[in-house]
Structure 1
Amino acid sequence: MAKMVMFSAVSGKVLQDGKPVAGAVVEREFRWSWKSETGTDATQTDAQGVFKLPLIERSSFMGSVLPHEPNVRQTILIKHGGKTYKAWMFDKPNYKPEGEIGRPIVMTCRLEKEPTHHGDVFGICELN
């Protein structure tokens, strides 16, 4: 059974007008096209606006032996003050650890920003 990374570990900080946002809910979701599987988890920002989400990994014997094109749709939403913000939207084309951007995912999310593309990633968060 091959281990396949659906979503690498993510850490970041949520700010609004330059100030840390405490208690914001950070929700993460993946949709794995190979097995039609969806997974979610969530955390809250601390007093400094910091959050951390662990690596999400799955296994598949067939996925490790049959040729296919990996596709994992990734989404991170931030919920705060009755609003939902699109933080991260990305289609991961591989199963590698840190395969999203080739390094750890560390981001700063500014709630006052409009979502935009940062390379292949769409959302309000900028990669550090």
Structure 2
Amino acid sequence: MQWTLEVVIVPVSDLDASIAFYRDKVGFHLDHDTRNEHMHVAQLTPPGSGCSIVLGDLPSQRAMEPGSLKGVQLVVADAAAAHAELQSRGVSVSDITVFDDRDGGTFFGFDDPDGNAWAIQEIKARAERPLIPEGYTAPWA
């Protein structure tokens, strides 16, 4: 049996501000922003990822305090380029740290406006072997 992680709920205090941050500053694709008299839920996906984040005001999403999510990890093929891109978009990022010279040992991070903490890991092999092939379109998209 295969198990796939496809959604991570990110607890936030201001949905509209968080949508703008993840879409406009971090560069995630806004898959949907659903509002009605019962709820407001948005799903955003990092480019090249099979896993999305969900922001919302449903009971399961309110179970965590805004800013309480720590250590969610994104992977990029080039940490320096990702670092520079986020900085150019106005995201406050930590310094790049090399914990190990082998591929996978380079990291930096950022926090969203609520304090949810993200780690960015460089795995250079992703440039040649992405987990999701470029140009792939999900059957439901």
Q: TM-score, normalising length from structure 1?
A: 0.29
Q: TM-score, normalising length from structure 2?
A: 0.27
Of structures 1 and 2, the one with the larger relative CO (CA 8 A, separation 6+) is 1
Could you say which structure has the higher strand fraction? 1
Could you say which structure has the higher helix fraction? 2
